Amino acid sequence: MSKNDKSLRELFEAAKTAQANAYAPYSRFRVGAALRTPGGAIFSGCNVENAAYPQGACAEAGAIAAMALGGERRIAEILVIGDGEGLCTPCGGCRQRIREFADATAPIHIAGPGGVRASFTLGELLPHSFGPEHLKA
């Protein structure tokens, strides 16, 4: 197993563990996310739904909140895992959340229960995006 395979496997396992803790009684769609910082730290999150439906939080948002709490500010890569047949790609809002902390070249890996199904860059999922640098005069 190459170093890359091993680090992706670590990210997958962290996301899968997070997915097991998802609170999704309304959609019944459990999601886990795990991100790696440039220094190698891993932070994870799961979706947490709410009886007031729009107040639910995505797994990616949880992982990003954990990263910020850990004092980190950059995402080198992120992996999202969901069940079902389709690719569990981040929603539009989460693409923007990732954009705040990641370069356009950062990989976004999409996994199912058996492993990674597809990998995109942030730039592919959120082209021509708006970000923090646009606010600089």
The verdict on 47 binding ligand THU (CB under 6 A) reads yes
Alpha-carbon distances, residue 6 vs 12, 27, 54 (angstroms): 10, 32, 37
Cα separation, 108 vs 136, in Å, equals 27
Encoding tokens for residue 25? 């009684």
71-to-41, 53, 74, 134 alpha-carbon distances in Å: 11, 30, 10, 24
By CB under 6 A, residue 58 contacts ligand THU: yes
The answer to whether the CB of 69 falls within 8 A of the CB of 59 is no
Q: Which of 49, 64, 77, 109 binds ligand THU (CB under 6 A)?
A: 49
Catalytic one among 13, 49, 60, 77? 60
Nearer to ligand THU, 6 or 27 (CB): 27
Q: Cβ of residue 31: shortest distance to ligand THU, in angstroms?
A: 4
Q: Is 13 a catalytic residue?
A: no
Interface residues toward ligand THU, by CB under 6 A: 24, 27, 29, 31, 47, 49, 56, 58-60, 80, 88, 90-91, 94
